[in-house]
Chains A and B, each alone.
Chain A
Amino acid sequence: MYLSALGITVAVAVLAGLDRTAAGQFMVCRPIVAAPLTGWLLGDVAIGLQVGAMLELLWLGRLPVGAAIPPDDSQVAVGCTFLAVVSQAQTGLPPQAVAAASLLIGMPFGKAGQLFDRLARLANARLLNKAELALDRGRFECLERYHLQGLWHFAAASLATLTIVVGGGLLCLPIFLSYLDGPLIQAAPWIYLLFPLIGIGSMLSGLKVPRASLLFGVSFVFGLFFLALR
């Protein structure tokens, strides 16, 4: 079961990793999609949805503009969903608790994704050099092949990030859960609210919108008033 779950996770990780930059960009890579998809394939869509909902906003404001590489939230989402599903099966802790614990452990490892993504882009430069050389030799039929080889580089970068997230998580998560399982169960609903709240702060900090505070305040009060009446 464990190996088949890992195989499914790797497949989603590669799909999400390619969708992130190299192919399609349909945004299947976003945590709100990738994590529930992983959870669904692993047989626990609720955990995936919780991981995705917690993670979605945090790095969304970091734009992939030009040469800038945002942290790899796709692999964090996929890897942490795997960790949460496996931990839940082993410990029987509530889904919210394992989702929160997996993210707290997995997210710092996800920073490695920026390094691997950069390496993939550097490896792609060699493909460009090969393509230029092929043109000089008049072998232009090679160009398409060299271009498509970039898929391997991005897939390898995704797998490397996933390995770091899952490997680091599998090492640290049991220790974390064995010492903090009691307080984690109580803190988990609050951590579940904390993640999107920090995400809102992160989004607002990056927006340059006229009258943003006024719009935010009015919609917030209106929303709360509506929920109070419901």
Chain B
Amino acid sequence: MKLPRSVLLKVLSRSFLLQTSWNYEQMQSLGLVYTLTPAFRQYYSGVTLLSAYRRHLEYFNTHPYLATTVIGAVLKLEEQVQQGIDPGFTLGEFKSAMVAPCAAMGDAFFWGAVRPAAAVAALLWAFHGSLWGPVLFIVLFNLPHFWFRIQGLVKGYGGGVRVVSTLQRWHLSDWAIHLKQVLVVLLGLLAAAIGAAATKHLSVGIFWGLCVAPIALGLCTLMRRRVSSLLIIIASSLFLLGWFQLH
């Protein structure tokens, strides 16, 4: 029995609440059951629904945006099992095999690359007082976010286990590296904007702003040595306040 589009839409909307009951024991398991429920109500009832819930109320933890890929494929597999097609493995085995790579790819791509790149691009605007900064951030971040959530469910449900090759075709790890390079370029531009603003305050030539790059790299070295950024901020702000108090 193929799921109607309205049910898939409900599954998609519920996937936004996947982490609502996130816990240390089984992480997103209850969220997974909550997300699958509209589809399960189409497939099962009574005792079979109960056993379907039991089947999925076990450890589940992946990246929330790529979770729909796993969820779509799980729905397809449930459907195939109902039709008497033996996939050659259990649903639990399939989920275990999928969650870790999806988590690693999603973390590197979204948390490690898209979010910081969008934030620095937005800061370049916000730094000069433009309200387009926050808007730009929301748009830049949520375009890939929504695309992967929707495409994940569509490809997962459409392809079943073949979604693995779809995931490989997306080359998320490569994209993450390229986006991180873009991020470094944007950080350089932001440092230049800080340098220009600093020289403006001091009323000196803008090329004195070149000093900002070694300071940024020095701070980077300090933080690689596990010095807390909060500590650096408080110490340097107190130094500045003390300086202006004395002068």
B37 x A144 contact (CB < 8 A): yes
With a 10 A CB-CB cut-off, give which of B34, B61, B127, B233 has the most chain A CB atoms: B233
> Is A11 on the interface with B (CB-CB < 8 A)?
no
> Is B229 on the interface with A (CB-CB < 8 A)?
yes
> Is B230 on the interface with A (CB-CB < 8 A)?
yes
> Which B residues between 16 and 75 are near A, CB-CB below 8 angstroms?
16-17, 19-26, 29-31, 33-34, 37, 49-50, 53-54, 57, 61, 64-65
Given contacts A27-B138, A36-B131, A212-B184, contact A196 B233 (CB under 8 A): no
Chain B residues with CB under 8 A of A52: 126, 134
Number of A residues near B (Cβ < 8 Å) is 95
B111 x A65 contact (CB < 8 A): yes
> Is A6 on the interface with B (CB-CB < 8 A)?
no
Q: How far is the CB of B213 from chain A (nearest CB, A)?
A: 5
> Is A89 on the interface with B (CB-CB < 8 A)?
no
The one of A22, A49, A53, A217 in contact with B213, judged by C-beta atoms closer than 8 angstroms, is A217
Chain A residues with CB under 8 A of B224: 205
Q: How far is the CB of A198 from chain B (nearest CB, A)?
A: 5
B217 x A204 contact (CB < 8 A): yes
> Which A residues between 190 and 217 are near B, CB-CB below 8 angstroms?
190-191, 193-207, 209-210, 212-213, 215-217
> Could you give, for residues 116-142 of chain B, a 1 whenever the CB lies within 8 Å of some chain A CB and a 0 otherwise?
100110110011010101100110011
> Could you give, for residues 198-231 of chain B, a 1 whenever the CB lies within 8 Å of some chain A CB and a 0 otherwise?
1001000011011011011111111110000110
Q: How far is the CB of B50 from chain A (nearest CB, A)?
A: 6
A219 x B24 contact (CB < 8 A): no
A124 to B20, CA, bound (A): 9
Chain A residues with CB under 8 A of B101: none
The one of A60, A128, A213 in contact with B23, judged by C-beta atoms closer than 8 angstroms, is A128
Chain A residues with CB under 8 A of B194: 193, 196-197, 200
A58 x B119 contact (CB < 8 A): no
B198 x A49 contact (CB < 8 A): no
> Is B170 on the interface with A (CB-CB < 8 A)?
no
Q: How far is the CB of A22 from chain B (nearest CB, A)?
A: 5
> Is B196 on the interface with A (CB-CB < 8 A)?
yes
B213 x A216 contact (CB < 8 A): yes
A1 to B242, CA, bound (A): 35
> Could you give, for residues 123-157 of chain A, a 1 whenever the CB lies within 8 Å of some chain B CB and a 0 otherwise?
01101100110010010100110111111001000
> Is A3 on the interface with B (CB-CB < 8 A)?
no
A58 x B23 contact (CB < 8 A): no
> Is B96 on the interface with A (CB-CB < 8 A)?
no
* Interface-facing stretch out of B83-91, B159-167, B185-193: B185-193
B23 x A57 contact (CB < 8 A): no
A28 x B138 contact (CB < 8 A): yes
B245 x A53 contact (CB < 8 A): no
A191 x B237 contact (CB < 8 A): yes
> Is B107 on the interface with A (CB-CB < 8 A)?
yes
The one of B17, B107, B233 in contact with A23, judged by C-beta atoms closer than 8 angstroms, is B17
Given contacts A30-B119, A190-B240, contact A224 B196 (CB under 8 A): yes
> Is B241 on the interface with A (CB-CB < 8 A)?
yes
Q: How far is the CB of B141 from chain A (nearest CB, A)?
A: 5
Q: How far is the CB of A164 from chain B (nearest CB, A)?
A: 15
> Is A13 on the interface with B (CB-CB < 8 A)?
no
Q: How far is the CB of A163 from chain B (nearest CB, A)?
A: 20
7 nearest A-B pairs in the assembled complex, by CB-CB distance: A201-B219, A223-B192, A219-B188, A150-B21, A183-B244, A124-B23, A205-B223
Q: 23 A-B pairs, CB-CB below 8 angstroms?
A: A25-B16, A25-B145, A45-B131, A49-B129, A52-B126, A52-B134, A67-B24, A104-B237, A121-B22, A124-B21, A143-B33, A143-B37, A150-B21, A150-B22, A190-B198, A193-B197, A198-B232, A204-B184, A209-B180, A213-B217, A216-B185, A221-B192, A228-B196
